[in-house]
Structure 1
């Protein structure tokens, strides 16, 4: 009974591991996302649409209250950016809230 349970657990772990995206898939996904973003910028430029505040709403709310540290943390959580990038983004667009 224990052997069957162990084999079943190993098979389940193997199936779950097979579902995880590999490095090649992550690279393809990142490339596709970059292409989508590039094309969206082209469309927005063609239409004359300007995003005056690309910050997530939660970040803008923290900035409106004057809490820059929470704004940076919220930006990192929303975008997955590293600390330096989040700080630069908040400082760049922070004056536009």
Structure 2
């Protein structure tokens, strides 16, 4: 009986801790998103453009050779971006490369 009660209490405590941490992480993500938007507005207002990472010539060459996956891998290696961010960035670069 005591073991069962202790187990229920431990599971309940673990659930409470998990939900509390999850809510805090969501709150921090909202704050980070808001800060990024404000920073983007400031940079735009001041006319400051973020410099392009060094090494994107390699990514552009892979795009021109129609090697999209290799370009995404190279972009991730160069910038440290995640897969989704790298895919979007390479697709945007591909559009600008096609316009040239």
TM-score normalised per structure 2 = 0.51
Over residues 27-83 of structure 1, what are the superposed CA-to-partner deviations in whole Å (9 max), with x where a residue is unaligned? Answer: 44422221112213444x26xx662x25x75xx375267243232356577154385
Residue 19 of structure 1 is matched in structure 2 by: 21
Secondary structure of the structure 2 residue equivalent to 1:21: helix
Question: Equivalent of 2:81, from 72, 78, 81?
Answer: 78
Show structure 2 runs of 5+ residues with no match: none
Aligned length: 86
Residue 5 of structure 2 is matched in structure 1 by: 3
In 2: Cα distance, 1:29 partner to 1:73 partner: 26
Query: What RMSD in Å do the two structures reach over aligned CA positions?
Result: 4.0
Are the equivalent residues in 2 in contact too, given 1:63–1:71 (CA < 8 A)? yes
TM-score normalised per structure 1 = 0.51
Structure of greater relative contact order (alpha carbons < 8 Å, 6+ residues apart): 1
Larger of the two Rg values belongs to structure: 2
Question: Equivalent of 1:32, from 15, 21, 35?
Answer: 35
